[in-house]
Structure 1
Amino acid sequence: MATLAETASKLPRKPSSKVTHIPGESGLPVVGFTFQFLRDFPGLINRMVEKHGPVFRYRAVMQDVITLTGPDANEFILKDSDHNFSSKKAWDIILEELFPNGLMLRDFENHKVHRKILQGAFKKPAMQAYVEKMNPRFDKGLSEWPKGNEIMFFDHIKNLLLNAGAELFLGIKMGQEATKVNESFIAAVDASLAVLRLPIPGTTWYRGIKGRRFLEEFIGSLVAEKRRSQDNDFFTQICHSRGENNEELTDQEVIDHMIFLLFAAHDTTTSTLCSLVYRLAKHPEWQEALREEILSLGTDEVTYDDLEKMEKTGLVFRETLRMHPPLPTIPRRAINDCEFQGFKIPKNAAVGVVPLHTHYMEEYWTNPYKFDPERFSPERAEHKKHFYQWVPFGGGHHKCLGLNFAEIQSKVFLFQLLRNYKVEIRSGYEMPTQVVPLAVPKDGFPCTLTPLN
């Protein structure tokens, strides 16, 4: 009898189009609602819900998608108690050749084994070591940013996180080697959005595949050394981690996981920090409250244990991710015929849930369009009405393994930023956001850093 992962792997590459029994629309011939999907994803989802209800279909990016909205839908898809949905098949179309065999591109039994092994790199001793490395890297990086004049925050934080990632994840210092790694990584990420996917020299896809090959060779050349090492970077931790039955990763599996972790951690944290700093600049009273909290720690370098004391920073982190989840929609592929609230979902259908929509539902959130970190305080605890109403990190089997790391990294960055600098934006500025596939500022997010001393 075939395993669940094998069943998923045998599905056609292209999802089923036999979904017309679901209320919805196909839009324009061929392209469907692709332009609306890319330009105004929240508006598209809101219009579909208003017209067709909480379960609907639409066509975008060359496929028909059944979309389920709300916390119950999130639980049905993400918890996936009956093992009806594949993450791998949903993401393969976009990521397979560039980031193959990452944790998000594994399913069921196979995913469980690999997740258990990778958890070793996210345990407390490892996290403590990561925090020690983050402090000087962020402090030095911020000191080199221009002050007193507008900068494009997106460009600066992207570069800072790339440089920090080279050291934190791979254990390599900045220099020509790290620069080449970063260039190759950026080429691979850019290629994940390429429309023309042919290996023609000069194209985005060609550069991406070339970048992937370099990363494989470079990381592969270090695996043996890392297996012998006792360093405290992610690379070494993953090489030493073991599963429940003492399983260890092969060299190729280490390579695939490291490249995918670089991708997953860098892009989502870039998105999150852009949104966090924008909200703090937009709401200076919260910026000042966090600064007071940070200065009350009385230290130049925050420790792992100090992070728990940054309670207001935690509230702002959660509220920012409610309003600006890095991944606004989470795709899956049905591997069996199944049913949700009377709607039949056929095998091989493309299915998606929308954290961004859930995060603004008035049934669960008071004044959802208002920035209100206190809604996550123990006294109000608005996020506890339904276990799947706040899902910026997904949920269930595939809940982001690095969710604690993301909060830690964000807190360390904000600690180093706010204890030294005031962040300001132009009066009346509203950050325009490209929501899909990942939430990032369209204009680079112009802001000004002013030294406090």
Structure 2
Amino acid sequence: MLTASARTDQSGSLQETFLRLPAKPNRQLDHLPGDYGLPVFGHTWGLLTNGPRLTAAMVARYGPVFRSSALFQRSVALVGPDAAQFVLLDPDRNFAARPAWDTILGGLFDNGLLLRDLDDHRAHRRVLQQAFKKPVLDSYCQTLNRFLGEGITAWPSGRHFDFYPAVKQLLLDNAIESFFGADPARDVAPLNRAFIDMLDATLALVRRPLPGTRWRRGVHGRRALECYLASQLDARKANPGNDFFSTLCTAANDESGGLSDSEIIDHLMFLLFAAHDTTSSTLSSMIRILCQYPQWQERLREEFSTLDAAALQTEHFGALPQTDWFFRETLRMHPPVPAIIRRTARACEWSGYTLPANTAVFLPIRFNHRMEQFWSSPGQFDPERWSPGREEYKGHSFQWLPFGGGAHKCLGLHFAEMQTKIFLYHLLRNYRIAGDQKHRPRIRYVPLEIPGNGLPVLLSPR
């Protein structure tokens, strides 16, 4: 079992403080500007129907620090890059990730990296980084090119189909094979079902395993994945393959000797969760934008054609600047996770206001990405804002945070970039894509930004 000894007595006492925070956050926030909305339900309806509009209205009325209530929880918004830097760099160790995310992921994705803090988090992150080093990522390229290329060409052309469920299934099949090294013919389908039940359970209001409930199906799904991974541990250790599972099984740590079996299983399930839905969201946003701005299909396709390569490799990325601008601008306008959440481990101050201990805090990343102080015409899709000579992202190091920042910055960001660009490469080299003019795109913002109507599209072979 991987353990982290506290470097100082203060660090050890802080770890205890973080672990002992009550499950329910502090509700005494009346000293802060803001309002709680409707009795009991608060601003839940506004959050679910159009969270960005709700945030903009609250900022306009109350300023960059405000209290609110939604989904039966009171919280405080800290708006802007300065606030994001204060919370995410956290030099005084005031903010905890585990209790914030435990309300959503606890019982399903326990002990994942995002549910760890301080020295414990640092020790586990150091081991997991071995699965995301460049030589390891390069080895995944061949699998991604094959899997995504074959999957895209198997989609229907000449008629409309719903892109979001199709890409979600394709990426889940790919993730189960890449992360777990599962047998595509035998294991992928039942593992997919188990994982989908776990994802669905994160939205459960009733968190007891009552018959017929989301939570019960989610708990059973976790058990099924645990049993599968446990049955494969010895084989992966004895004969490792080119998958995340094998990499974690063979990873060594100078201080501890590696991960325990249960830790390997917990991390694999959380990595699958963290990687799958966010990339599905990002690709759906990209496809919606490509349908809206077909000139960018042509620009990316022309750039891809300069490579004259059947498969996209990581060494090609430097030759694709416009693809990179497109990738970054999509994530600016449509970050998959619209807000980052934390819990105060102890009382602290920001912008003249006191945040009591155990207060739920959120950083509205999507709103920050559209602040006029940092972006010109922020509501306009403009990939060239990332080009040399403009480089608007340089105004503040925390103004663009689709992958978070600080100690908990997304460990798989380079894998996500690689997967996304390989997908676009195979799609646009083979097809033109158009939206369904009969159906206006609808967007859901909670828990991730995804199409509310499946995103019907039409693929036309080139």
Settle same-fold status: TM greater than 0.5: yes
Q: Tell me which of 62, 83, 91 is aligned to 1:73.
A: 83
1:302 aligns with 2:312: yes
2:212 is aligned to 202
For 2:361 and 2:50, how far apart are their aligned partners in 1? 20
| Structure 1 partner of 2:6 | none
TM-score by length of 1: 0.98
**1:166 equivalenced with 2:176 (yes/no):** yes
The C-alpha deviation readout for 1:101-159, integer Å capped at 9, x for no partner, is 00001011100000010000001111111111001101111111110111100010011
Write the distance in 1 (CA, Å) between the matches of 2:193 and 2:311: 30
Find the aligned partners of 2:194 and 2:429 in 1 and give their Cα distance: 34
Alignment of 1:345-360 (within 5 A): 345-360=355-370
Residues 1:440 and 2:450 are matched in the alignment: yes
Q: Which runs of 5+ in 2 are unaligned?
A: 1-8
Taking only the aligned residue pairs, the percentage that are identical comes to: 45
2:237 corresponds to 1:227: yes
Aligned pairs, how many?
A: 452
Asked whether the equivalents of residues 65 and 78 of structure 2 are also in contact (C-alpha less than 8 Å), the reply is yes
For residues 233 and 288 of structure 2, the distance between their equivalents in structure 1, rounded to whole angstroms, comes to 39
1:96 and 2:115 are equivalent in the alignment:
no
Look up the match of 2:144. 134
2:120 equivalent to 1:110? yes
Write the distance in 2 (CA, Å) between the matches of 1:5 and 1:178.
38
C-alpha distance in 1, partners of 2:333/2:396? 17
Aligned to 2:199: 189
Q: What SS is found at the alignment partner of 2:54?
A: helix
Contact kept in structure 1, 2:160 and 2:436, CA below 8 Å: no
1:359-374 equivalence runs, <5 A = 359-374=369-384
Return the alpha-carbon distance in structure 2 between the equivalents of residues 53 and 78 of structure 1: 21
Which residue of the other structure, out of 367, 370, 389, is the alignment partner of 1:379? 389
Query: Residue 412 of structure 2 corresponds to which residue in structure 1?
Result: 402
Q: Alignment partner for residue 275 of structure 1, among 274, 278, 285?
A: 285
* Letter of the structure 1 residue corresponding to residue 363 of structure 2: V
Q: Does 1:389 align with 2:389?
A: no
Give the aligned residue type for 1:40. N
Give the AA of the match of 2:171: L
**Counterpart secondary structure, 2:341:** strand
Mapped pair 1:38 → 2:48:
yes
Deviations 1:369-416 (A, max 9, x none): 111001111221100100000001110000000111111000011111
Secondary structure of the equivalent of 1:40? Answer: helix
Query: What is the match of residue 21 of structure 1?
Result: 31
Which amino acid is 1:214 matched to? A
Secondary structure in structure 1 of the residue aligned to 2:55: helix
SS in 1 for 2:161: strand
CA contact (8 A) 1:114 1:243 kept: no
- The equivalent of 2:167 in structure 1 is 157
Report the secondary structure of 1:344's partner residue.
strand
CA distance in 1, matches of 2:239, 2:15: 34
Higher mean C-alpha displacement, 146-155 vs 431-440: 431-440
The 5-angstrom pairing of residues 247-262 of structure 1 reads 247-262=257-272
Contact 1:4 1:109 in 2 (8 A): no
Q: Is the 8 A contact 2:341 2:363 kept in 1?
A: yes
CA–CA separation in structure 2 for the residues paired with 1:133 and 1:5: 40
What is residue 241 of structure 1 aligned with on the other side? 251
Structure 2 counterpart SS, 1:65: strand
- Partner amino acid, structure 2, of 1:298: D
- Quote the offset at 1:265 in angstroms: 0.3
Letter in 1 for 2:210: I
Query: Judging changes above 3 Å, is the alpha-carbon distance between structure 1 residues 207 and 274 closer, same or farther for their aligned structure 2 residues?
Result: same
- Whether the aligned pair in 2 keeps the contact of 1:166 and 1:173 (CA below 8 Å) is no
Q: Which SS does the other structure have where 1:305 is aligned?
A: helix
> What is residue 414 of structure 1 aligned with on the other side?
424
Secondary structure of 1:263's aligned partner: helix
Q: Counterpart amino acid of 2:172?
A: L
2: CA distance, partners of 1:302 / 1:63: 45
CA positional deviation for 1:3? 3.3
Runs of 5+ consecutive residues of structure 1 not aligned to the other structure: none
Contact 1:23–1:56 (CA under 8 A) maintained in structure 2: yes
Q: Is the 8 A contact 2:200 2:214 kept in 1?
A: yes
CA distance in 1, matches of 2:256, 2:296: 47
Q: Distance in 2 between matches of 1:141 and 1:169?
A: 18
Cα offset for 1:304?
Answer: 2.1
CA shift at 1:328, angstroms? 0.3
The equivalent residue for 1:48 is 58
Q: Which residue of 1 aligns with 2:303?
A: 293
> Residues 116 and 244 of structure 1 are in contact (CA less than 8 Å); yes or no, is this contact kept in structure 2?
no
